[in-house]
Amino acid sequence: MTATEQSRAAAAPASPGAAAAEKAAPTLEGPALAAARALGDDALVLAQRLGEWAGNAPVLEEDVALTNIALDLLGQARTLLSLTGDEDDLAFLREEHEFHNAQLVEQPNGDFAVTIARQLYFSVYQELLYTALAEHGGDLAPLAAKAVKEVAYHRDHAEQWTLRLGDGTEESHRRMQQALDALWRYTGELFQPLEGLGVDLPALRERWLEQVTAVVEKATLAIPQGADHTPWAAGAGRQGVHTESFGRLLAEMQYLHRAHPGASW
């Protein structure tokens, strides 16, 4: 339901529309709500980025694979955001600074190697995170237990391509290394503590680094040596500060809903 409909419904309480009843109150509150929303934003924004490959991927098969992954992430986002409010309002009516996704997921697709590097960094992280959440129990455990299987496949997809690009031609090796290097500075933010999550994120970094290193080295590539965050941007996405291209991503994602409030098909 849109803001307009909402005010209309409020103005006419005698006729509560079906849409008004749909709007569920958030299940979570306080820091737990903020944490779930941050994870939901991660999934939503990455789904949107991956969706940009639809019709543009190097081959038809990869087009389907990437959008499949996007749809998995979109499903996770819907569940997570629904726990924290109305999913449509949250996705379509928030401004840039209200999104708390990590900056890694909003980075542009670049060439295929950049997309794969982003997928590798993020899916290894997400698999560790969901495994920990499922073990931890609590409100996010059911989602995490289901999503961990999806994410394991995303990780496998990213690994397979990292191996092939890294150990492929001279050109694919060069591009894959360049992509790993370029995105490295956004990986530190993933392990910033997230209050209300119940999972010790900084503690996951060691296993993440082990897994990523194993894949990268097998692909004859090198783990980037620079800092895994920039001093001025550490944790910035989680605080609502985003990189330049994020505004354009939101504009594309939100345009239809804002131009035609409540449109459905």
Q: Is residue 216 within the footprint of other proteins (CB under 8 A)?
A: no
Q: How far is the CB of 176 from other proteins (least distance, A)?
A: 9
Q: For residue 171, what are its two tokens? A: 């050109």
Per CB under 8 A, the list member of 18, 25, 59, 259 interacting with other proteins is: 59
Q: Is residue 171 within the footprint of other proteins (CB under 8 A)?
A: yes
Q: Is residue 58 within the footprint of other proteins (CB under 8 A)?
A: yes
Q: Is residue 53 within the footprint of other proteins (CB under 8 A)?
A: no
Angle among Cα 169, 170, 175 to the nearest 5 degrees reads 100
Q: Is residue 149 within the footprint of other proteins (CB under 8 A)?
A: no
**Contacts for 190 with CB less than 8 Å, ≥ 6 apart:** 102, 104, 121, 122, 125, 201, 205, 208
How many angstroms separate the CA atoms of 152 and 147, rounded? 9
Q: For residue 72, what are its two tokens? A: 């998995």
| Nearer to other proteins among residue 165 and residue 194 (C-beta) | 165
Q: Is residue 210 within the footprint of other proteins (CB under 8 A)?
A: no
Using the contact rule CB under 8 A, the part of the chain among 2-10, 27-35, 143-151, 152-160 near other proteins is 152-160
Per CB under 8 A, the list member of 49, 118, 155, 175 interacting with other proteins is: 175
Q: Is residue 111 within the footprint of other proteins (CB under 8 A)?
A: yes
Q: How far is the CB of 161 from other proteins (least distance, A)?
A: 7
How many angstroms separate the CA atoms of 23 and 140, rounded? 20
Which value, in Å, is the radius of gyration of the alpha carbons in the chain?
Answer: 19
Q: By C-alpha distance, which of 194, 253, 241, 254 is closest to 96?
A: 241
Q: By C-alpha distance, which of 245, 252, 253 is closest to 105?
A: 245
Q: By C-alpha distance, which of 58, 73, 60 is closest to 114?
A: 58
Q: How far is the CB of 140 from other proteins (least distance, A)?
A: 25
Q: Is residue 239 within the footprint of other proteins (CB under 8 A)?
A: no
Q: Is residue 75 within the footprint of other proteins (CB under 8 A)?
A: no
Q: How many CB atoms lie within 10 A of CB 256?
A: 11
How many angstroms separate the CA atoms of 77 and 71, rounded? 10
Q: Binders of other proteins: how many residues, by CB under 8 A? A: 29
Where helices occur in 96-200 by DSSP H, the ranges are 103-106, 112-136, 141-166, 170-184
Q: Is residue 244 within the footprint of other proteins (CB under 8 A)?
A: no
Per CB under 8 A, the list member of 4, 169, 239, 245 interacting with other proteins is: 169
Q: How far is the CB of 64 from other proteins (least distance, A)?
A: 5
Task: Give the binding site for other proteins (CB under 8 A).
Answer: 58-62, 64-65, 68, 111-113, 116, 156-157, 159-161, 163-165, 167-169, 171-172, 175, 218-220
